[in-house]
Amino acid sequence: MRQRLRRAGWWFRRLRGQRLLGFVALVAVAVVGGWLYGGPTSAAVGGVVALVVVGIVLARPVGAIARRLFLRAPPWRAEPGKLSFAGADLGFKVEGFGAGETARDLVDNLAEAGGRFESGEVTLELWLVASDLQGQDWTIVQELNLPPAGKTAWTSSVDGELTVADFDETGRPNPFRAAHRLVKQELDVPLVDIDILGWGREQHHLFGTRDTVVAFARTSLGAEKLSGFDYPEGRDERNGHLVPVSLDGIAKTLGWGHPSNWRGGSVFGLLELLEVSQPGAWAALVKRVAPRWYEKGMFARVERGTEKATERAVAAQS
pLDDT score, position 299 = 44
Residue 315 belongs to a domain: no
- The pLDDT profile of the chain, 318 residues, written as one tens digit per residue, is 444 544 444 444 455 444 555 556 655 655 565 555 565 666 565 556 656 665 665 555 555 555 555 567 788 887 888 999 998 999 999 988 887 666 677 777 776 765 555 445 788 999 999 999 999 999 999 998 877 667 888 999 999 998 888 887 777 788 899 999 999 999 999 999 999 999 888 886 555 788 889 999 999 999 999 887 788 766 568 889 999 999 999 999 999 988 888 999 999 999 999 998 888 899 999 999 999 888 876 544 434 444 444 444 444 455
Are 57 and 130 members of one domain? no
Residue 308 belongs to a domain: no
Are 103 and 126 members of one domain? yes
Our count of domains for the chain comes to 2
Question: Which residue, among 94, 170, 157, has the nearest Cα to 129 in the 3D structure?
Answer: 157
Q: Helix axis angle, 282-317 relative to 247-254, nearest 10°? A: 10
Cβ atoms of residues 128 and 139 within 8 Å: yes
Cβ atoms of residues 200 and 215 within 8 Å: no
Are 217 and 292 members of one domain? yes
Rg (CA), the chain: 24
Residue 163 belongs to a domain: yes
Are 59 and 175 members of one domain? no
Are 212 and 246 members of one domain? yes
3-state secondary structure string across 211-231: EEEEEEEEECCCHHHHCCCCC
Burial class of residue 167 in the structure, from the number of CB atoms within 10 Å of its CB (0-12 exposed, 13-18 middle, 19+ buried)? middle
Q: What is the pLDDT of residues 144-174, one digit of tens each?
A: 887 766 788 899 999 999 888 888 777 778 8
Residue 50 belongs to a domain: yes
Question: Which residue, among 83, 61, 100, has the nearest Cα to 196 in the 3D structure?
Answer: 100
Residue 317 belongs to a domain: no
- Could you list the residue range(s) of the whole structural domain that residue 38 is in? 2-70
Question: Which residue, among 231, 96, 215, has the nearest Cα to 166 in the 3D structure?
Answer: 215
Are 61 and 12 members of one domain? yes
Are 87 and 109 members of one domain? yes
Residue 297 belongs to a domain: yes
Residue 316 belongs to a domain: no
pLDDT score, position 171 = 74
Q: What ranges make up the beta strands (E) of the chain?
A: 81-85, 88-97, 122-131, 137-146, 151-155, 158-161, 191-204, 208-219, 238-244
Are 56 and 153 members of one domain? no
Among 18, 38, 70, identify where a domain stops.
Answer: 70
Are 113 and 243 members of one domain? yes
Among 70, 99, 122, identify where a domain stops.
Answer: 70
Ramachandran sector of residue 71 (left: φ over 0; alpha: ψ -120 to 50; beta: rest): beta
CATH of the domain at 144: 3.90.79.10
Cβ atoms of residues 9 and 69 within 8 Å: no
Please tell me the distance from the alpha carbon of residue 83 to that of residue 289, in angstroms, as a whole number: 15
Residue 313 belongs to a domain: no
Among 70, 97, 126, identify where a domain stops.
Answer: 70
pLDDT score, position 203 = 80
pLDDT score, position 250 = 96
- What separation in angstroms does the CA of 294 have from each of 153, 269, 286, 298? 18, 22, 12, 6
Are 186 and 250 members of one domain? yes
pLDDT score, position 287 = 93
Are 143 and 208 members of one domain? yes
Cβ atoms of residues 202 and 209 within 8 Å: yes
Cβ atoms of residues 212 and 92 within 8 Å: yes
Sequence-separated contacts (24+) of 260-263 with Cβ below 8 Å: 260/91, 260/205, 260/300, 261/152, 261/153, 261/154, 262/90, 262/153, 262/154, 262/155, 263/92, 263/125, 263/153, 263/154, 263/155, 263/156, 263/159, 263/202, 263/204
Are 155 and 288 members of one domain? yes
